[in-house]
Amino acid sequence: MFGNEISNAVYILGGVLSLDQCVAADLNGDGAVMGNEITQIVLNLARGCVQEGRPLTFAHDRGQEVTLTLDVARSEDGKVNLTVNAAGGLGELATVQLDVLYDPGLLDIGDPGRTCRLDERLRGSHVLLATLPQSPAAPEGYRRLRLFTGDLSFPIQTFADGPVFHCTFQPVAGRSGQVVFGADRTNVGDQRADTFRVVVAGGEFTLEAPPVSEPTPVQVCAGDCDGNGQVMGNEITTVVQIMASRLPVSACPAADADGDGQVTVGDVTKAVLRLARGCP
């Protein structure tokens, strides 16, 4: 075993490399590389393999249950924040892996290597892998976001219950609806590569479209061509010339007091009244 083989195994887990790049990374021969197998590979690197390409020991189901909770909230800037919390690990969590299923018609994750991060408490000992694998195909209407964390050095460090992953999604412009995050291919292991049973909770959120701001009506003073808040005699002359079709309306938009696209006698009268009484 060599260090680069651990890297290859992690990339196979994330869907970056295909399994044929390192078939031995699939320790139990089920056609996939999971988080607890990464732990076993690290153990093999530290302790040696019984035989080339085979694990030193085989993983066992601990029979204990870990709950992964998908907590969703919207930030002040309108983004959707997803936090994956783990509970029930008895302080013996070494790896956590899951595929988060999300609706790309409502949410955009962008580059998950930038928009996802490990919780602060894990950054000193564990690594993060966040990818958008194409295989296996996601259920219709969903896309996979694969998240994995583990300690790739020996001795393998464990961590207690609490937040594990944080990801930030950008809502798709103009879209709203019920957001339902799903979870697939879950795998939680300890420092011996044994696995916990996993249940998933949470993940529902109502995405409301941002309110459309109505434009604030701008009060126009009839005949105030230069917009200085008062109507002068020369502006009345301009208004009259527009009415007579000697000037375009664009020469003084305020001449069109009722906004119908033309200047009539009524518009001239309103301008004259503003000359006498002032603008509101």
Residues 36-63: tens digit of each pLDDT: 888 777 777 666 665 444 444 556 677 8
CA distance 152 to 136: 25
Nearest to 22 by CA among 6, 34, 43, 45: 6
Kindly state the average pLDDT of the residues 144-159. Answer: 91
Counting residues of the chain whose pLDDT is more than 70, the rounded percentage is: 89
Identify the residue with better confidence: 52 or 169. Answer: 169
Kindly state the average pLDDT of the residues 270-278. Answer: 87
CA distance 164 to 68: 9
Identify the residue with better confidence: 217 or 135. Answer: 135
Kindly state the average pLDDT of the residues 199-205. Answer: 87
- Assign 216 a pLDDT band (cuts: 50, 70, 90): low
Q: Is residue 187 pLDDT above 60, yes or no?
A: yes
CA distance 26 to 18: 11
| Domain termination site, one of 154, 189, 207 | 207
Nearest to 73 by CA among 65, 63, 83, 64: 83
pLDDT attached to residue 52: 45
Q: How many domains does the chain have?
A: 2
CA distance 8 to 94: 19
Q: Which residue segment(s) compose the domain that 191 sits in?
A: 60-207
- Assign 213 a pLDDT band (cuts: 50, 70, 90): low
- Same domain for 184 and 252, yes or no, is no
pLDDT attached to residue 84: 97
Is 176 domain-assigned?
yes
Is 96 domain-assigned?
yes
Kindly state the average pLDDT of the residues 68-96. Answer: 93
Is 33 domain-assigned?
no
CA distance 279 to 254: 12
| Domain termination site, one of 191, 207, 223 | 207
- Same domain for 237 and 200, yes or no, is no
Q: Over the range 88-99, which residues count as b (16 or more CB within 10 Å of their CB) and which as e?
A: bbeebbbbbbbb
Is 149 domain-assigned?
yes
- Same domain for 89 and 159, yes or no, is yes
pLDDT attached to residue 51: 43
Nearest to 180 by CA among 21, 70, 98: 70
pLDDT attached to residue 97: 93
CA distance 26 to 141: 29
pLDDT attached to residue 212: 58
Is 21 domain-assigned?
no
- Assign 198 a pLDDT band (cuts: 50, 70, 90): very high
Burial class (CB in 10 A: 0-12, 13-18, 19+), 104: middle
**Mean pLDDT, all residues of the chain:** 85
pLDDT attached to residue 211: 60
pTM for the model stands at: 0.68
- Same domain for 244 and 177, yes or no, is no
- Same domain for 259 and 185, yes or no, is no
